[in-house]
Structure 1
Amino acid sequence: MSDLKLETANTIIETAFAKGAETGLKPLAVAVLDAGGHLVAFQRQDLSSLMRFQIAFGKAYGALALGMGTRAVDTMARERPHFMAALSDVAGGRLVPVPGGVLMRDGSGRLIGAVGVSGDTSDNDEAAAVAGIEAAGLVADGG
């Protein structure tokens, strides 16, 4: 059973959207996964482009799969492209190795899940994810 509740996931999504509106970001899509990689909640803003679910999910899934935020995964992909290509194959193409996938931890450091945001630049996607996680009272680990 997941420790991540739907109410918490919805808070994360609402806050990420509010951060996007506050900073003038393009329409966002936000996927919230529990520690086991199961989707808890997903929403996309009106006018978000095609494949935003797959990208947001892939960022969160990649963070969980590798145990690090996708900022660190991005660095790894640049330093070890053959490894990342092989890993993507093993994962069925579900990893998106760019910033915007952020692990969530509780106050004791225990992994709760991950958030993936897609729609603007990777840095802005990551900032929206962090804002949502922190609003839910959790600790963001972007890598």
Structure 2
Amino acid sequence: MAQAAPAGFQHGITLDAAITIARETLAKGRELGLAPLTVVVLDGGGHRKALLREDGGSLLRPQIAEGKAYGALALGFGTRELARRAQAMQGFMNALSDLAGGSAVPVPGGVLVKSADGTVLGAVGVSGDASDKDEVCAVAGIRAAGLTPETGDPL
């Protein structure tokens, strides 16, 4: 029997939604014939809710995927926008990297997860193939869970 959360705590993304997102993200990668993917789902507080790594994924893929999700969550927009800012404002990115302890990865593939009313529930990060393809998979996973993706570009 599930217990109610303590008063005042907002958990954001549910475990069921996180698992759906992770599974469907990988399914999209298989459908597209991509390299082995790793997907990380963070809740609104930046805590890991789900991590799936396909067989054959290289050593640092979990950290890269988490860094993409963390970067999106840290600044409140998808990492496609973060990538643009990294190119335009190197000083800002150096400061962000220092503040985040090197944990923010400023390339596409980090996508915010929002509810229908626009509330940020968490973020998804995907790593393994080209960043644009990673992002496509994240968006598919988020939509499969009935939630709204935010990449940093209009969808």
State the TM-score bracket (shorter-chain normalisation). Answer: over 0.9
Which of 76, 83, 99 is the equivalent residue of 2:92? 83
Unpaired runs of 5+ residues, structure 1, are none
**Which aligned runs of 4 or more in structure 1 are off by greater than 6 angstroms?**
none
| Structure with greater Cα Rg | 2
1:57 equivalenced with 2:66 (yes/no): yes
Aligned length: 143
In structure 2, C-alpha distance between the alignment counterparts of 1:48 and 1:93, rounded to whole Å: 21
- SS of the counterpart of 1:40? strand
- SS of the counterpart of 1:112? strand
Report % sequence identity: 57
- SS of the counterpart of 1:4? coil
Which of 121, 130, 136 is the equivalent residue of 1:112? 121
User: 1:133 is matched with which residue?
Assistant: 142
In structure 1, C-alpha distance between the alignment counterparts of 2:58 and 2:23, rounded to whole Å: 19
In structure 2, C-alpha distance between the alignment counterparts of 1:24 and 1:53, rounded to whole Å: 20
- SS of the counterpart of 1:32? strand
In structure 1, C-alpha distance between the alignment counterparts of 2:123 and 2:58, rounded to whole Å: 22
Normalized against structure 1, the TM-score is what? 0.98
Which of 6, 14, 18 is the equivalent residue of 1:5? 14
Normalized against structure 2, the TM-score is what? 0.91
Which of 76, 99, 102 is the equivalent residue of 1:93? 102
User: 1:66 is matched with which residue?
Assistant: 75
Using the TM superposition, give the Cα deviation of residue 136 of structure 1 relative to its aligned residue in structure 2, in angstroms.
0.3
- SS of the counterpart of 1:114? strand
- SS of the counterpart of 1:133? helix
User: 2:112 is matched with which residue?
Assistant: 103
Using the TM superposition, give the Cα deviation of residue 79 of structure 1 relative to its aligned residue in structure 2, in angstroms.
0.2
What do you get for the CA RMSD once the two structures are aligned?
Answer: 0.7
